[in-house]
Amino acid sequence: MAEIGPNTRLRTSPFYEATLNEGVTAFSPYNRMLMPVSYGDPMAEYDRLMHGVSMWDVAVQRQVQIEGPDAARLAQILSVRDLSGCFPGQGKYVPMCDHRGVLINDPVVLKIADDLFWLSIADNNMLMWARGIAAERGLNVKVSEPDVSPLAVQGPKAEDVVASIFGDWVRTIKFFWFADAQIDGIPVKIARSGFSKQGGFELYLTDGRRGVDLWNIIREAGQPWGIGPGNPNPIERIESGLLSYGGDTDDMTNPFEVRLDKYVDLDLEDDVIGIKALRRIHADGPARHQLGVKLDDWSTQTGHATWCDVLVDGKKVGSMTNGGWSPQLHAVIGFVLVSRSVQIGDKVEVVRNGEPVPGTICDLPFV
Ligand code: THG
């Protein structure tokens, strides 16, 4: 088995050593970093998230910091969701598009202050994008990547764990809001957010030298609730209908195709990038839509390096973008991105490793 040689282009997370100690078995590249994606026991990782508490290293969710007099303006120019109702201390899930209306990211935007924003980004170079747009529009802002690394604590017991460390006041943090805190001199922002539907927090570490210390504090405090390491869980997020930018989207996908309609405000000013294209796409109706598929095949085989063709009467109508065995549905389920002619209830075939597997189209979310 070949290895990735040491290089300065692949950055390590402040939690890297801690994840090695935990026995991480697989990484995925993301924002020129390594994201831990398995500790070797996917069912245990899933069960902790569903019934207990899981912690995961998402330092790869890099922050793009925008500060200065035009910070709010640049944040809005990049966002097809209205940010005017966003207050300091609040986050919003925000689609970002290019001039064609194609989705280029779906960050959580955190408003730190009236003139200071973080874009907590998915896998695409938004630092370069934000800098380029700021310069071309002549905006008075500084765009940088700060020393900030999120650590997720997710699952029904996450609140108990985080409260046991920081105090019961964290229970009052509202969905997608955040607050400053410290533990043993380690500075964090505690946000009620995270890439699962099981509830929990993300701790934004703001001193990269203290990653292992923070990991160990949470690990220790979580023992009574059976905490263990995990990852943005590939099957829970499919059951729950959460989009993976870059996993479920390609270089043509617009927000309407992937169920982000409710985060798009078409009456924003014309200077918002992509908004004019989105108005046209909305009027014409998008070409494709994202739905679910349930396969009539009990094999638990998961993990596809490429999208799988979806066929109707032997003709390609789209792709299954991700899929896997669902313990809740007792079936292999997946997301499909298919022509709008394909409807809920339709019978299709999904080509996996050259073999057509029959399945049925269904609505999202699965659960
Ligand atoms: N947390 C933080 N940054 C992130 C992610 C995260 N950056 C990358 C990636 N994940 C961005 N993608 C998402 C996708 C979904 C959600 C958050 C980030 C999400 N959606 C909820 C939902 O769909 O139900 C809530 C959206 C809402 O209604 O406000 O949480 O996970 N820091």
Distances (CA, A) of 302 to 164, 174, 229, 326: 37, 35, 20, 10
CATH code of the domain in which 365 resides: 2.40.30.110
CA 218 – CA 336 distance, rounded (Å)? 37
Q: Does 201 contact ligand 1 (Cβ within 6 A)?
A: no
The pLDDT value given to residue 7: 87
pLDDT at residue 353 greater than cutoff 90: no
Closest residue by Cα to atom 8, ligand 1, is 122
Closest residue by Cα to atom 29, ligand 1, is 93
Burial of 207 (0-12, 13-18, 19+ CB in 10 A): middle
The pLDDT value given to residue 300: 58
Is the bond into 365 cis (omega within 30 degrees of 0)?
A: yes
Domain assignment present for residue 267? The answer is no
Q: Which residues pair with 352 in a beta bridge?
A: 355
Domain assignment present for residue 8? The answer is no
Domain of 319 in residue numbering reads as 287-367
CA 87 – CA 124 distance, rounded (Å)? 26
Domain assignment present for residue 26? The answer is yes
Domain assignment present for residue 183? The answer is yes
Q: Does 194 contact ligand 1 (Cβ within 6 A)?
A: yes
Mark whether 335 and 199 lie in a shared domain. Answer: no
In the chain, count of helices (H) and strands (E)?
8, 21
For residue 345, what is the DSSP state?
T
The pLDDT value given to residue 305: 77
The pLDDT value given to residue 92: 98
Mark whether 39 and 182 lie in a shared domain. Answer: yes
Average pLDDT of the residues in 157-175: 98
Where residue 298 falls among pLDDT bands split at 50, 70, 90? low
Spacing of C-alpha 142 from chain mean position: 25
pTM of the model: 0.97
Residue 130 C-beta-side C-alpha neighbours within 13 Å: 32
Q: Are 61 and 122 in contact (CB under 8 A)?
A: yes
Mark whether 200 and 345 lie in a shared domain. Answer: no
- To test the pocket of ligand 1, the residue of 242, 260, 290 to mutate (highest count of ligand atoms within 8 Å of its CB) is 242
Q: Are 200 and 53 in contact (CB under 8 A)?
A: yes
Mark whether 193 and 342 lie in a shared domain. Answer: no
Instruction: Tell me the pLDDT tens digit for each residue of 268-285.
Output: 999 999 999 999 999 999
pLDDT at residue 264 greater than cutoff 80: yes
Average pLDDT of the residues in 299-326: 88
CA 57 – CA 208 distance, rounded (Å)? 13
Mark whether 208 and 342 lie in a shared domain. Answer: no
Last residue of a domain, one of 237, 256, 272: 237
pLDDT at residue 365 greater than cutoff 90: yes
Question: 168 Cβ partners below 8 Å, 6+ apart?
Answer: none
Helix (H, G, I), strand (E, B) or coil at 255: helix
Domain assignment present for residue 271? The answer is no
Instruction: Tell me the pLDDT tens digit for each residue of 40-86.
Output: 999 999 999 999 999 999 999 999 999 999 999 999 999 999 999 99
Average pLDDT of the residues in 129-135: 98
Work out the mean pLDDT of the chain and round it to a whole number: 96
Average pLDDT of the residues in 189-207: 98
CA 341 – CA 353 distance, rounded (Å)? 25
| Angle in degrees, 0-180, between the axes of helices 211-221 and 158-166, rounded to the nearest 10 | 110
* Per-residue buried b or exposed e for 351-362, using 16+ beta carbons within 10 Å of the residue's own CB: ebeeeebebebb
Structure tokens at 162: 């985080």
Helices (H), the chain: 16-21, 42-51, 71-78, 126-136, 158-166, 211-221, 234-240, 275-284
CATH code of the domain in which 35 resides: 3.30.1360.120
Average pLDDT of the residues in 146-170: 98
Last residue of a domain, one of 218, 237, 256: 237
Mark whether 322 and 183 lie in a shared domain. Answer: no
Where residue 302 falls among pLDDT bands split at 50, 70, 90? low
Q: Does 322 contact ligand 1 (Cβ within 6 A)?
A: no
Binding site, residues?
Answer: 202
Q: Does 108 contact ligand 1 (Cβ within 6 A)?
A: yes
What values do phi and psi take at 212, rounded to 5? -65, -40
Distances (CA, A) of 213 to 131, 181, 248, 268, 362: 33, 15, 35, 44, 45
Total count of domains within the chain: 2
Mark whether 293 and 227 lie in a shared domain. Answer: no
